[in-house]
Every structure is written in structure tokens, then in C-alpha cells.
Amino acid sequence: MTTLDPTVATPEKSVRRSRLRPAGGESAAMLMVLPIMVAILFIGYVIWRQTADLDSIEESTLAWGAIWEQLRDHIAITLVASAIVVVIAVPLGILLTRGRARAIAPAVVAFANAGQAAPAIGLIVLLAIWLGFGFWTGVLGLVIYGLLPVLRNTITGLQGVDPTLVEAGRGIGMSAPQVLLRVELPLALPVIMAGIRTALVLVVGTAALVTFIGAGGLGGALTSGINLFRFPVMVSAALLIALLALLIEWVGRVLETVLRPKGI
């Protein structure tokens, strides 16, 4: 039995590690492959769009002007919501690893985990019934949805910092805020960034649903495609949404690599 125990501990540990920070090789490959893939598919779409034989409804739904506007709205709502997520979740995560608040951190994470089971579309519709249609209702829904990964990873990242390093920081005369800013946060940054990337992907995907409550985005073209039962519109819109999501994921990976402190 004693020989078996460590065997199980190893995979469990590596699961956690691989979810928080992907192996270097995979990340590097994704950094290369993603933009090329997105570019090829987008060029393919442009060529198809310019040459395809579309009827007047398809022509107007897929007009470049309309698509650009939806794309712009989609990116705008994604960035606004993600920024708010970071501004709320990172300080909250820091707070939950300080002093007495440490005790309630597991409860907060468990609650947030359970909340994650709520379907995004249900949350968005409920918010719309409560607050009315519009951009900011959409933002609120996306923020609620994106909070958990950043919060969880901020807490895990800070808890994962070697206590001896914190001790050493205090030992050379740093104050608590200094230790936080110059030792703990830099060391936890890779894990926090992984959480932010996860949140970005969640938010950009969920943003395809805010068209239902009048907050714009590429989901608009997709729903018209489905409602009018036009395959070209459906597939085009779905493809563009997927490409945007992949591009945002790539941006997240770039940020992760660029912001990773040297020496880690």
C-alpha cells in the first residue's frame, strides 16, 4: 500500500500543475500555430465571401459593414468585462489570502465553483429581466462569469508562494505591502495570468450570447443565420466567433509569456 500512495499523488499533482500552467512545449507550439491557423481560416473566409453566390438576405446579413460593427462590439464588451474582472478578482484574491480572511477563502472558492454550474445563458436572461436590456447588463453577466478563474488562480498562486521566501523578504526589512508587491505577486503572476487567460476565453465565448439581450456582438449574425435557416450565414458567423475566440486566447498566451517575470 505504501508503494501505491505516491503513485497516485504524482498524477494528481501534475494534473493541477498542467491546468494552472501548461507545459512549456505546448504553450510555445500554441503561440506559433494559433495565429497562423486563424490567419489562414480568415483569409479563406474573405476569399469565399468575395466569390460566393449569396441571395439578398445572406448578402445583407454578411455585409462587411454589419460584420465589422458586430466584431467591434464583441471585442469591446469582451475587453471591458475582462478588465473589470481583473480589477475585482485580483484584489479580492489578495484580500482572501491575508490575515484572518484566509479562513473563509475555501468557502468563497467553493461558492464560486458551485455558481459556475449556472448556465451562462440563464444568468444573462435573468439579469436582463432584472436590469433591462443593454450593453452594461451584458457586461455584468460576463463579469460574473469570468470572476471565478481569476479569483481561484490568484488565491492558489499566492498560497503556492514558498513561505520561506516571504520570511526572507520580511527578514531583509521589507514591510508587508512590499513583500506582497515585490515577492509574492511576481512569484504568483504566472498562475494569475493563466487564470486571466481562462477568463478571457470564457468571456469572449459567452459574449456570443449577449446579443439575446441587445448588447450586440457576433452572436447577432449567428442567431439571424439560425432563425432564417441560412447555412452560409450560420457557418460564417460561427466561424468568425470561433476565430475571434482563438485570437483572444492567443493574445492571452502572449500576455502570459511577456509578463512572466524573468527567472521563473
Partner 1 sequence: MWDFIAERHRQILYDGFQHVYLVVLAVVAATFIAILIAMLVTKVPRLGGVTNMLSAIGLTIPGFALVGLLMPATGIGSTTAFICVCFYAVLPILRNAVVGLQGVEPVLLESARGMGMGEAAVIARVRLPLAWPVILAGIRVSLQMSMGIAAIAAYVLGPGLGSYIFTGLAQIGGKNALNYALVGTLGVVLLALILDLLLVLVGRVTIPKGIRV
Binding residue for partner 1, selected from 54, 76, 238, 251, defined by CB under 8 A: 238
- Within 114-153, which residues bind partner 1 (CB under 8 A)? 114, 116-123, 125-126, 128-129
Residue 258 is a binding residue for partner 1 (CB under 8 A): no
What whole-number distance in Å separates Cα of residue 257 and Cα of residue 22? 12
What whole-number distance in Å separates Cα of residue 69 and Cα of residue 71? 5
- Within 28-47, which residues bind partner 1 (CB under 8 A)? 29-30, 33-34, 37
Per-residue binding string, partner 1, 147-166, x by CB under 8 A, is: --------------------
Query: Which residue pairs, CB below 8 angstroms and at least 24 apart, start in 225-234?
Result: 225/61, 228/57, 228/61, 230/57, 230/58, 230/61, 232/52, 232/54, 232/58, 232/62, 233/57, 233/58, 233/61, 233/62
Residue 109 is a binding residue for partner 1 (CB under 8 A): no
Residue 66 is a binding residue for partner 1 (CB under 8 A): no
Count the site residues for partner 1 by CB under 8 A: 58
Helix (H, G, I), strand (E, B) or coil at 208: helix
What whole-number distance in Å separates Cα of residue 250 and Cα of residue 254? 6
Angle, CA 251 vertex, CA 248 and CA 256 arms, to 5°: 130
Residue type, 12: E
> Least distance in Å: CB of 187 to partner 1?
24
Positions that interact with partner 1 (CB under 8 A):
1, 4-5, 7-8, 10-12, 14-15, 18-19, 22-23, 25-26, 29-30, 33-34, 37, 114, 116-123, 125-126, 128-129, 201, 204-206, 208-209, 212-213, 219, 222-223, 225-226, 231, 234-235, 237-239, 241-242, 245-246, 249
